Structure 1
């Protein structure tokens, strides 16, 4: 089972910063999580440099919006690729879809309570 961790203080900070634009930005960010996760999978093994860039973007975006466990997973994939450990990156990427979907679900549930 995959543990999904959300940092609500990061979400509250972004909500405060973005004001009226928060809902649209959160929605876009959730779409980006899905796109970037797919790009990591698509490039892993064939273009590890691109996969590492997508993992880096996913790590940063997830961290900004409080998707802590997704950010940590993306970071582990990025680091493994940057260190030439494609096998470790492949193993870590096995749960990326679950992390993305679980994080999106929890972020949307959090927003629904606002």
Structure 2
């Protein structure tokens, strides 16, 4: 089972910072989670530097928008790739799609409840 953790404080901070732009930015960010995770998975074990860069972007974007557990998984993948531990990165990536889907679902539910 995949545990999804959302930092509501980070979301509230971004909402306060972005104001009227928050809804559109959150929607864009969720689509970026999907795009970046797809890039990580597509490049893993063939273009590991590219996969690490996408994992880094995913880690940062997820953290900014409160998707804590997704950010953690992306950080673990990035770190493993940067250290040359491709097998570890592949193992950590097994949970990536579930993290993205669960995070997007929880972020959208949080926003809908505002």
Same-fold status (TM-score > 0.5): yes
Instruction: Give the deviation of 1:30 after TM superposition.
Output: 0.0
2:45 & 2:63 partners in 1: Cα distance?
25
The equivalent residue for 1:104 is 104
**2:21 maps to 1:17:** no
Which consecutive unaligned segments of at least 5 residues does structure 1 have? none
- 1:20-75 alpha-carbon deviations (Å, 9 max, x no partner): 00000000000000000000000001100000000000000000000000000000
* Residue 10 of structure 1, CA deviation: 0.1
Runs ≥4 residues deviating over 2 A: none
2:72 maps to what in 1?
Answer: 72
Aligned residue pairs, count:
114
- 1:37 corresponding residue in structure 2: 37
Normalised by the length of structure 2, the TM-score is 1.00
In structure 2, the partner of 1:6 is 6
| Displacement of 1:18 | 0.1
